[in-house]
Amino acid sequence: MKGLLIFGAGGHGKVVAETAEAMGGFEPIQFLDCEYAQLNGNLRWPVSDPQSDAIDEQTRAVVAIGNAPRRMELLEELKAAGGLLPVLVHPSAWISPSAVIAEGTVVFAGAVIQADARLGRGVIINTLAGVDHDCVLGDGVHISPGAHLAGNVTVGEGSWLGIGCAVKQGVRIGRNVTVGAGAVVLKDVDDGLTVAGCPACPIKAAE
């Protein structure tokens, strides 16, 4: 299949579709989402039930689901079925030639990824986000719109950094962390915490 299957037809999925469209080379684009099949007439692309489409070694697919555990679960299923998991990068984004980006990751409009940054599988780098030199992002990390990571930041798998937050250079953020919108992270954050504020402080432990 020369086109692209997008798992998830919500708002995030629409941005993924338009990113793929801007890149070119993905035709046709189709959504797979059992919950949103009724919206088929309200999107520019068709929506069908995921169960009705076979995945094989010729299928190019991306998972457009914000929930990190579910996103990674679906990526594993697609990989096991032999599907191809392309990296999508909007033409207006800038990626350093020395950056390394793993399969299934999406980079949206205006984002910047600098020298020797390393991004894991299924990462989301959202609109106008910045990932500076030597950052390391684990699988399933989501960097929200307008968030900025200074150099040498490490973010553990499954963590979500909220819109407009900022992370000081050299900070290590653990696994499954949530960073609140607009937070300023000045020191390391342990696994499973939710932090918010300026400077960012824990507000609760993840369940």
Q: CB of 88 within 8 A of CB of 62?
A: yes
CATH number of domain containing 138: 2.160.10.10
Q: Are residues 70 and 130 in the same domain?
A: no
Q: Is pLDDT of 35 > 80?
A: no
Q: Are residues 102 and 188 in the same domain?
A: yes
Helix (H) or strand (E) holding 121: none
Average pLDDT of every residue of the chain: 91
Domain that holds residue 113: 88-205
Give the long-range contacts of residues 8-13, CB within 8 A, separation 24 or more.
8/32, 8/33, 8/63, 8/64, 8/65, 9/33, 9/35, 9/36, 9/39, 9/43, 9/47, 9/64, 10/36, 10/64, 10/65, 10/66, 12/64, 12/65, 12/66, 12/124, 13/64
Q: Are residues 47 and 143 in the same domain?
A: no
Lookup: tokens for 8: 């998830």
Of 206 and 182, the one with more pLDDT:
182
- Counted domains in the chain: 2
Of the candidate ranges 37-46, 94-103, 131-140, the one whose mean pLDDT is the lowest? 37-46
Q: Which of 80, 102, 128 is the last residue of a domain?
A: 80
pLDDT score of 185: 98
Q: Are residues 93 and 74 in the same domain?
A: no
Q: Are residues 34 and 95 in the same domain?
A: no
∠ at Cα 193 (191, 197), nearest 5°? 135
CATH number of domain containing 56: 3.40.50.20
Report in angstroms the alpha-carbon separations of 12 from 91, 114, 115, 136. 18, 24, 27, 23
Q: Are residues 17 and 110 in the same domain?
A: no
Which tens digit of pLDDT belongs to each residue from 112-126?
Answer: 999 999 999 999 999
Lookup: tokens for 53: 């489409």
Which residue numbers are catalytic?
133
pLDDT score of 88: 98
Q: Are residues 52 and 142 in the same domain?
A: no
∠ at Cα 71 (66, 76), nearest 5°? 170
Q: CB of 161 within 8 A of CB of 182?
A: no
Q: CB of 12 within 8 A of CB of 69?
A: no
Binning the chain into helix, strand and coil, the percentages to the nearest 5 are: 15, 30, 55
Of the candidate ranges 29-38, 71-80, 169-178, the one whose mean pLDDT is the lowest? 29-38
Q: What is the DSSP letter of 75?
A: H
Q: Is pLDDT of 84 > 80?
A: yes
Cα 154 from Cα 161, distance rounded (Å): 12
pLDDT band at 34 (very low <50, low <70, confident <90, very high): confident
Q: Is pLDDT of 47 > 60?
A: yes
Of 79 and 43, the one with more pLDDT:
79
Q: Is pLDDT of 41 > 70?
A: no
pLDDT score of 37: 54
Q: Are residues 34 and 117 in the same domain?
A: no
Determine the 3-state secondary structure of 88 from DSSP: strand
